[in-house]
Amino acid sequence: MKKIFLTLALIGLSSSAFAGGYRVALQGVRQAALGGTSATQTHDASVAFYNPAGLAFVDSKLSIAVGGFGVKTDVKWQDPMTLQKAETDSKLGTPMYLAVSYKPVDDLAIGLSVTTPFGSSVTWPEDWQNKANITHIDLKAFNIQPTVAYRFSDWFSLGVGFIYTHGTAKLEKVQTVAGNDIKLKLEDKDAHGLGFNVGAMFKPTDKFGVGIAYRSNVDISANKGDVTWSNVPSGIASNVPFNTDKWNTTLPLPSEFT
């Protein structure tokens, strides 16, 4: 009976962990397999993403963790009134991670991680009923995080990391004007933002650990992205908004407390 309740609890944790929209909770193969306990697991350098304090408890003087995943998402849509249907044809997503940590002395660890904690790619048919809202969206965000952790005693450590996020964003849709399907593409390949990651870890015994970590929100600024119009009739090409060739926006990547 205890195993049944434990299984149900873990299922609940997993479902809530994947409810974050474009949040990608895959930043370590071992960490993903351990589910919601990743903030307290210190097997390798990938713990820097989940709890920077964990680097001080990694056993190896030098730890290198690298890996990737394949993610495929299919979405189906149907209008309840007209019964028209549409289905996405999205490409395979490949979130990846690389983490390195080194201990110059036993209690001090320095590290660097590169992760892809946010991303989404969805492609709808260009002739579907909601083409004026979206036909394609693609968001990628790479976190580069240098980290320092110090173990103050055999059972307690603190860690902090600085986050630089570099991202790309693309949005496409089709607008019908005077019988013409005009394609709009917004794209920015140099979006960026700053944030931080802090954490504490308590390990009074080898079999018991408590981790507390906070990763700040990062507002990615997409400045002077490219706007591309296709199939615009010559008579309206010089009118607003078809004469616009640049766009600005902010993409909020939410904070997380573990």
Model pLDDT, residue 36: 62
Asked if residue 160 is part of any domain, the answer here is yes
Which residue range(s) make up the domain with 160? 70-96+105-197+214-257
| Residue 122 near residue 172, CB atoms below 8 Å | no
Query: Which pLDDT value is given to residue 198?
Result: 97
The CATH number linked to 185 is 2.40.160.60
In a domain, 208, yes or no: no
CA–CA separation, 184 and 181 (whole Å): 10
Q: Is residue 22 assigned to a domain? A: no
Residue 27 belongs to some domain of the structure = no
Indicate whether 83 belongs to any domain. Answer: yes
Residue 48 lies in a domain: no
Nearest CA among 161, 159, 189 for reference residue 58 = 159
Note the pLDDT of residue 51.
92
Q: Is residue 127 part of a domain?
A: yes
Contacts of 124 by beta carbon, 8 Å cutoff, 6+ apart = 86, 88, 89, 130, 131, 134, 135, 136
Q: Give me the pLDDT at residue 33, please.
A: 75
Low-confidence ranges of the chain (pLDDT < 70): 1-21, 35-36
Domain total in the chain: 1
The pLDDT value recorded for residue 228 is 83
Residue 59 forms part of a structural domain: no
Which pLDDT score, from 0 to 100, does residue 100 have?
A: 95
